[in-house]
């Protein structure tokens, strides 16, 4: 039985049997794109209309031209074409 779907990956109940679960508090997102890099600590990420949105807890370092501040507090976005890759470190 599928119990969760995260970033398009299905997590099956059988995988979690006998293991403990932890609440994910935040994760670090860092990337090198076409014009520079950014490094942020976030608690949510989603994709909408060719942009990647982040609920940012802390901006560790970022090129200002990359991140667009949205109207909602602590929400930033970046256009998908500016992204080379995203890597995440998980913090429990």
Write the pLDDT tens digit of every residue in 58-81: 888 776 667 889 999 999 888 887
Decide: 52 and 66 in contact? Cβ < 8 Å: no
Q: The whole model's pTM is what? A: 0.64
DSSP 9-73: EEEEHHHHTT-------EEEEEEE-SS-EEEEEEEEEEEETTEEEEEEEEEEEE-TTTPEEPSST
pLDDT digits (tens, 9 = 90+) for 4-57: 444 444 444 555 566 666 666 777 877 765 556 778 888 888 889 989 898 998
Decide: 44 and 54 in contact? Cβ < 8 Å: yes
What is the SS3 assignment for 80? helix
């Amino acid at each position: 039985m599928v119990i969760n779907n995260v970033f398009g990956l299905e997590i099956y109940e059988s995988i979690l049997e006998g293991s403990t679960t932890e609440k994910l508090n935040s994760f670090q997102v860092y990337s090198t794109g076409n014009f520079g890099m950014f490094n942020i600590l976030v608690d949510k990420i989603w994709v909408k209309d060719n942009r990647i949105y982040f609920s940012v807890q802390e901006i560790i370092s970022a090129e200002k031209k990359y991140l667009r501040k949205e109207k909602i507090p602590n929400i930033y976005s970046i256009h998908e074409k500016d992204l080379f890759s995203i890597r995440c470190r998980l913090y429990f």
